[in-house]
Amino acid sequence: MQKKIPEEKLQALRNTGISEFASKGLDGANINVIARKAGVSVGTIYNYFGTKENFFTACLEQAMKDLETALMEASAGDVPLLTRADRLIRAVQAYSRENIEVIRLYNEITSSSGNKMAGSLARKIESISSSAYKKTIREAARKGEIRSDVNVEYLAFFFDNLLTTLQFSYACPYYKERLKIYCGEEGLKDDDLMRKNLLAFMDAAFDPKGRTKK
């Protein structure tokens, strides 16, 4: 007897939220404005999400779901590590271009110093991609595609660090500028060049016959 799932409505609401939170930040965004932009009343947002913070988290999770899916797909299949890395970088590049706001939102929480949620959000968001990356690296290690003198966990960590920074570099103002400082406008525009370089970097770093391997 309950009303039909207003799931699509919620989706739309969250999408408006993503957009606002991504551009203004958690503090900067205004719930009343979000409501107006979403074509609903403030009350509705509060009926659904209870608090601004809750609503923010809900937006974030919706945003992250897509990103995760994209990354999961890219890291699926039984392919050589390099191929997988190539796919991942491509996915990151494509996604960052098309979903600037999601990346910005992600970047947003990444720096919520004054925020109690930082810890729990990290656990919620990072655990998924981290386990995927770890698995990927571990399998590659089993196949002998990877040097054995570096800890699998740390490799996955560095790997993620490089991908994450790349994402931010395509979507977030500060990182964007930083990328330009390092690589010029080209760094921002020439995706192939970036990918080629990053792949080479990673490949060498993983190389079982690499220098530090004695």
Partner DNA sequence: GATGAATGAGCGTTCATTCAT
Partner DNA sequence: AATGAATGAACGCTCATTCAT
Residues that bind DNA (CB under 7 A): 1-3, 6, 9, 27-33, 39-44, 46-48, 50-53
d(CA 125, CA 123) in angstroms, rounded, equals 6
Closest CB 60 distance from DNA, rounded Å = 15
Tell the smallest beta-carbon distance from residue 33 to DNA (Å). 7
Nearer to DNA, 42 or 72 (CB): 42
Q: How far is the CB of 55 from a second copy (least distance, A)?
A: 17
CB 138 within 8 A of CB 153: no
- The long-range contacts involving 142-146, CB below 8 angstroms and separated by at least 24 positions, are 144/208, 145/80, 145/81, 145/206, 145/208, 146/81, 146/206, 146/208
- Residue 46, contacted partner among DNA, a second copy, none, CB below 5-8 A by kind: DNA
* Number of CB atoms found within 10 A of residue 100's CB: 16
And the tokens for 26?
């958690």
Measured from the CB atom, is 15 or 130 closer to DNA?
15
Q: Which of 119, 62, 67 lies closest to 88 in space, CA to CA? A: 67
Least distance from DNA to the Cβ atom of residue 61, Å: 17
Among 35, 63, 96, 160, binds a second copy (CB under 8 A): 160
**CA 154 to CA 44: how far, in whole Å?**
45
Nearer to a second copy, 10 or 205 (CB): 205
Backbone angles phi, psi at 115, to 5 degrees: -130, 125
Residue 44 or 164 with smaller CB distance to DNA: 44
Our finding on whether 51 is near a second copy (CB under 8 A) is no
The distance of closest approach from Cβ of residue 79 to a second copy in the complex, given in angstroms and rounded to an integer, is 17
